[in-house]
Amino acid sequence: MTAKKLHYFSGITITVFIVFHLFNHLYGLLGPTAHIEMMQNLRTVYRNVIAESILLLAVAAQVTTGIKLFIIKRKSATGFFDKLQIWTGLYLAFFLVMHLGAVFSGRFLLNLDTNFYFGVAGLNIFPLNLFFIPYYSLAIISFFGHLSVVHSKKAKNDLFGLKPEKQSYGILIIGILLTLVILYGLTNGFMGVEIPNEYNLGVGL
Task: Provide the minimum distance between the beta carbon of 74 and ligand HEM in the complex, in angstroms, as a whole number.
Answer: 21
How far, in Å, CA of 184 to CA of 48, rounded? 31
Rounded CA gap, 131 and 201, in Å? 16
- Return the CA Rg of the chain: 18
- C-beta of 81 vs 117, nearer to ligand HEM: 117
Looking at the Cβ atoms of 15 and 162, the one nearer to ligand HEM is: 15
Q: How far is the CB of 22 from ligand HEM (least distance, A)?
A: 7
Query: Based on CB atoms, which residue is closest to ligand HEM, 107 or 164?
Result: 107
Instruction: Tell which residue, 93, 80, 74, has the closest CA to residue 7.
Output: 93
Within 10 A of 74 (CB to CB), how many other CB atoms are there? 12
- Nearest-CA neighbor of 24 among 98, 129, 119, 100? 119
Q: Give least dist CB 68 to ligand HEM, A.
A: 19
What is the nearest approach in angstroms of ligand HEM to the Cβ of residue 67? 15
Residues forming contacts to ligand HEM in the complex (CB under 6 A) are 17-18, 21, 25, 39, 43, 46-47, 52, 55, 59, 92, 95-96, 99-100, 103, 114, 118-120, 136, 139-140, 143, 182, 186, 204
Pick 28 or 168: Cβ nearer ligand HEM: 28
Q: Name the residue among 87, 93, 85 with its Cα closest to residue 151.
A: 85
